[in-house]
C-alpha cells in the first residue's frame, strides 16, 4: 500500500482485492487507507456485498459488515458508505474524515476530468508537486481535455506555473503564467506573471509588459503594495534568516562551513521535494 499501517483489528488470511486498482487489502485500516487515497476514483459500485462478506468472515467485524450490506441494499450514497467504513477504524481522525466528505460533495456531479482537476488541486495544496504536475499533464493530454473551458485550462496552467516556481525556474514559471492568462484572463494570474518578472529581475520586460497589457495606475499601486508585503514577510522568515547566516559564513571566509551548510540546505530541499 506504500505506507506502514498499524492494524488494531484482525488481519485477513485471504486478502480482498479492489478490482478498480487490483489492490489487495488485509485489514479494516487498509480499507480506510484505500478509500482516502482513491477517493476521486471510487463510486458506490466499488463497494459490494462480497466486500461486506469478507469483512464479516475475514476481519470478524459482523456489525460493520451488516451496516455495509444494509447501505448497499438501500442504495445509500457514496458518502454514507465511506463514512461508515472510515469510522470502523481509528486510522483517520475527524478532520481527515471531514476532508473526505468535502471532496465527495465537491465531485459528486462532476465529469471524471473535472474530478481529476480537483484531485490535482488537492495534491498541489499539500505540496505534492511531482504528483500534481503529472496529474495536470495527464488532464491536458487526455481525450476529454476538449470538455474543459478556456478558463479551466488557464487555471491548470496557472497551477503548473506555481509548481515550476518550486521545482524548476522563475523563467519557466513566468512563461507559463503568461500562457495561463491568455486562457483564463484572470487578474490574479496576470499579477503572478508580473511578480515573476520582478522576482527574476527582468526589469526591462516588466516595463514593456506594463505597456503591453495596458495596466492602469490602480493595479500597479496594488501590485507594488502586495510585492512589498511579500518581501517583508520573506525577510522575516526562518528560511531567509538561515540563508542569510550561511552567506555571512562565506563573507567571513569560512568556506568549509559555508559549503557544508549549503549542502545541508540543498539536501533538506531535496528530501522535501522527493517526499512529495
Report pTM. 0.64
Residue 217 lies in a domain: no
Using alpha carbons, select from 69, 23, 22, 31 the residue that is nearest to residue 50. Answer: 69
C-alpha cell at 82: 465511506
Which of residues 55, 79, 108 is at a domain's end? 108
In a domain, 204, yes or no: no
| Burial category of 82 from C-beta neighbours within 10 Å (exposed 0-12, middle 13-18, buried 19 and up) | buried
Q: Which of 90, 108, 126 is the last residue of a domain?
A: 108
Cα dihedral value 23, 92, 83, 130, nearest 10: -50
The pLDDT, as a whole number, for residue 226 is 87
pLDDT in tens, 123-156: 888 788 998 999 999 999 999 999 999 999 999 9
pLDDT at 90: 85
Higher pLDDT, 207 or 233: 207
Q: Which domain holds residue 50?
A: 1-108
> 5 falls in which pLDDT band (50, 70, 90)?
very low
Cell of 253: 571566509
Domain membership flag for residue 162:
no
Tell me, yes or no, whether 34 lies in a domain: yes
Helix axes 112-125, 150-167, angle to 10 degrees: 30
Which of 108, 124, 144 lies at the terminal end of a domain, its last residue? 108
**109 membership: H or E segment, kind and range:** none
Is 85 within the bounds of a domain?
yes
Residue 5 resides in a domain: yes
Task: Quote the number of domains for the chain.
Answer: 2
What average pLDDT does this structure show over 246-252?
68
Alpha helices in the chain (DSSP H): 28-37, 49-57, 62-73, 78-86, 94-107, 112-125, 129-141, 150-167, 170-184, 187-199, 203-212, 217-236, 238-251, 255-275
- The whole-number pLDDT of residue 3 equals 46
- The mean pLDDT of the chain is 85
Give the orientation angle of helix 187-199 with respect to helix 217-236, to 10 degrees: 60
**What DSSP state is assigned to residue 1?**
-
In a domain, 209, yes or no: no
Write out pLDDT tens, residues 21-66: 788 999 999 999 999 988 887 888 889 999 999 999 999 999 999 9
The pLDDT score that the predictor gives to residue 243 is 57
Q: Has residue 192 been placed in a domain?
A: no
pLDDT average, residue stretch 92-99: 92
Question: Which of 202, 182, 184 minimizes the C-alpha distance to 194?
Answer: 202
Query: Rounded to whole angstroms, how far apart are CA atoms 266 and 276?
Result: 16
Q: Which three cell numbers stand for residue 135?
A: 496529474
Angle, vertex CA 228, rays to CA 227 and CA 231, nearest 5: 90
Amino acid at each position: 500500500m506504500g505506507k506502514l499501517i498499524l492494524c488494531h483489528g484482525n488481519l485477513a488470511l485471504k486478502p480482498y482485492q479492489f478490482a478498480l486498482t487490483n489492490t489487495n487489502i488485509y485489514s479494516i485500516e487498509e480499507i480506510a487507507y484505500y478509500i482516502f487515497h482513491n477517493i476521486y476514483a471510487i463510486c458506490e459500485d466499488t463497494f459490494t456485498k462480497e466486500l461486506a462478506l469478507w469483512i464479516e468472515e475475514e476481519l470478524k467485524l459482523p456489525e460493520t459488515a451488516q451496516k455495509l450490506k444494509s447501505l448497499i441494499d438501500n442504495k445509500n450514497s457514496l458518502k454514507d458508505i465511506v463514512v461508515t467504513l472510515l469510522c470502523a477504524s481509528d486510522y483517520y481522525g475527524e478532520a481527515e474524515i471531514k476532508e473526505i466528505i468535502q471532496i465527495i460533495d465537491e465531485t459528486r456531479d462532476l465529469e471524471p476530468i473535472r474530478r481529476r482537476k480537483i484531485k490535482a488541486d488537492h495534491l498541489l495544496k499539500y505540496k505534492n508537486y511531482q504528483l500534481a504536475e503529472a496529474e495536470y499533464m495527464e488532464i491536458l493530454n487526455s481525450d476529454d481535455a476538449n470538455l474543459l473551458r478556456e478558463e479551466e485550462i488557464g487555471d491548470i496552467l496557472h497551477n503548473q506555473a506555481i509548481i515550476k516556481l518550486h521545482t524548476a525556474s522563475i523563467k519557466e514559471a513566468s512563461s507559463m503564467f503568461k500562457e495561463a492568462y491568455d486562457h483564463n484572463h484572470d487578474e490574479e494570474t496576470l499579477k503572478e506573471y508580473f511578480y515573476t518578472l520582478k522576482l527574476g529581475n527582468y526589469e526591462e520586460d516588466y516595463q514593456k509588459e506594463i505597456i503591453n497589457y495596458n495596466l492602469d495606475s490602480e493595479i500597479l499601486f496594488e501590485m507594488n503594495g502586495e510585492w512589498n508585503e511579500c518581501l517583508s514577510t520573506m525577510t522575516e522568515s526562518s528560511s531567509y534568516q538561515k540563508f542569510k547566516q550561511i552567506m555571512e559564513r562565506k563573507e567571513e571566509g569560512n568556506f568549509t562551513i559555508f559549503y557544508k551548510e549549503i549542502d545541508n540546505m540543498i539536501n533538506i530541499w531535496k528530501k522535501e521535494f522527493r517526499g512529495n
